[in-house]
Amino acid sequence: MVDEKSRILAWLSPLEPRERHRDIRAHRADEVGDWLLQTQEYRNLFDGSSEGVSDGSALFCCGGPGVGKTYIR
C-alpha cells in the first residue's frame, strides 16, 4: 500500500514540492515584499478591520510569470 501511495504521489507531482520550497526559501532576498506588508490595505485585511472582510479572508497576489510573486515573504 505504501509503495502504491508513493507511485501515485510521484505521478501527481514529479516536482518534489518540499525541495522546491526549500530552494525558494534559500534564494529569497531580505525585505522583498515588505512594502506590501506595510500598506494600510494589507494591515486592514490582516487584522480583519476592513469593511466586509471576514476572518477567512485571503490575499490573492497576481502577476505575470517571473515577476517575483514566489519570492515575496
Sequence letter at residue 8? I
Residue-wise pLDDT tens digits, 14-67: 778 788 889 888 988 888 888 888 888 888 887 776 665 556 667 788 899 888
Q: What is the reported pLDDT for 64?
A: 93
Instruction: Tell me the C-alpha distance between 60 and 47, whole Å.
Output: 16
The residue extents of the domains of the chain are 2-71
User: Grid coordinates representing 37?
Assistant: 506588508
Other beta carbons within 10 Å of 50: 15
User: Grid coordinates representing 71?
Assistant: 519570492
44 Cβ contact list (under 8 Å, min separation 6):
50, 53
Is 2 or 42 the better-scoring residue by pLDDT? 42
Q: What is the reported pLDDT for 56?
A: 66
